[in-house]
Amino acid sequence: MRTLLSRAIQIDPSFHVALGLIVILGVVEIFFGTSYYVGRARANRVSRQAIANAIARPRAASPASVYSPAPALAQPAVPPAAEVTSPAPSIVDQLLREGKELRERGDTTNALARFQEALDSEPENTGVLEEMAQTYEAMQLFDRANDVWRRIKQISPSDSAMYELADRRLKVGIAATAPTEPASTKPETDITPRKDIGGNADGPIMGILDVKTTVTPDADAETNLALEIGIKKEPGAVVDHDKVKILVFLYDIVNDKDIKLTDADVTNEWVTPKHDWSDTNPEVLLVRYVRAKTGGALSESSLSEAAAKVRPGQKSRGSKGAADTGQRKYLGYIVRVYYDDELQAVQAEPSRLLQQFPPSKNPSAR
């Protein structure tokens, strides 16, 4: 049988050829069929992507067309809001206007209440403080008015118009507390805006720039403090320093009720070297007050010597006398500046000392 099979295969070699051709044709047919369907599938996919992109473009463009006008609509909404809020007056300005109107109608109590309410919001508003000081002056409360003017002077720059106004008010305001002649007895031509507190029609030559109090801790003293007093000349004034007199009176409160000149040690010295007012800079006088824990006291007859009577280039020192009973504490000061024996400026702290010890036009008087 093996022989017959071998012969059959050898006899018919075309079988292998036909079988090979069939296999080759099948492979070719499968290859072309696969290529055909793969190409169609790729073409369908590309066409679908193109259609999707074409649909996506109008969709993406449509929101821009819808929302693009939105900024144009939002822009005009901002300026009107700013126009509405910017002209609205502040609460302080409104209270200030109401206070002025009340004062003009004679209602000074409610006017002060409006000014105080405005100061609660802006404590250093010099405009409100000015109106409050003028209201106190209208009420004849010069002590309180001076306190407000002094506060304005402290918080205002020294070269500002408000500072000059407060300084001028503190000088002329003291004279307002003293009785004056009726207005009908003086012609209007005799009234000079620049007249100083001493009555000099040419205006003041000297002035007090500032008084600073510094307390120094001292284990050996009950009280140790110093006053730095700035003395200036008025612009354009020519000063003969031999005609300048500066009186500094220091006061104690005795047994928490009586006010008397101090009996403590009082010394003075110039901080500035020249103190002749040859230039525009102020000259600074330093007055020291020292109350020892165990010290004597001055007699009533010599208490006036505790005032620092100063001429440029000189020093003075308080003297001691007989014992004076009572518990003493430092209260405050009065500074008087004279030029050619005419009163130029006065400053006190607390200001009520000016009511109890009014300034005299003559430097030799107490």
In this predicted model, what pLDDT tens digit does every residue of 170-180 receive, in sequence order?
Answer: 876 544 343 44
Q: At residue 184, what is the residue type?
A: S
Checking if the pLDDT of 80 tops 70, the result is no
Sequence-distant (≥ 6) Cβ neighbours of residue 255 within 8 angstroms: 326, 327
3-state secondary structure of 359: coil
Helix (H, G, I), strand (E, B) or coil at 364: coil
Q: Identify whether the C-beta of residue 233 lies closer than 8 Å to the C-beta of residue 207.
A: yes
Q: Using an 8 Å Cβ cutoff, are 327 and 255 in contact?
A: yes
* pLDDT tens-digit readout, 26-78: 888 888 788 777 777 776 665 666 565 655 554 544 444 444 454 444 454 54
Residue with tokens 């004597």: 296
Q: Which two tokens stand for residue 80?
A: 């009107």
Amino acid at 98: E
**Ramachandran angles phi, psi of 170, nearest 5°:** -65, -25
pLDDT in tens, 129-155: 999 988 888 877 787 888 898 999 999
The DSSP element (H or E) to which 247 belongs, if any, is strand 244-254
Least confident of 7-16, 187-196, 341-350: 187-196
pLDDT digits (tens, 9 = 90+) for 204-228: 888 998 899 999 999 989 999 999 9
Query: What is the pLDDT, as a whole number, of residue 184?
Result: 42
pLDDT of the residue at 294: 67
Exposed, middle or buried by CB within 10 Å (0-12, 13-18, 19+), for 324? Answer: middle
Residue type, 37: Y
d(CA 229, CA 249): 13
Instruction: Using the CB atoms, write b or e for 140-162: b if 16+ within 10 Å.
Output: ebbbbbbbbbbbbbeebeeeeeb
pTM for the whole thing?
0.45
Q: Is the separation of the CB atoms in 304 and 248 below 8 Å? A: no
Confidence of residue 194 (pLDDT cuts 50, 70, 90): very low
User: Which residues touch 36 (CB under 8 Å, ≥6 apart)?
Assistant: none
How far apart CA 344 and CA 340 sit, in angstroms, is 10
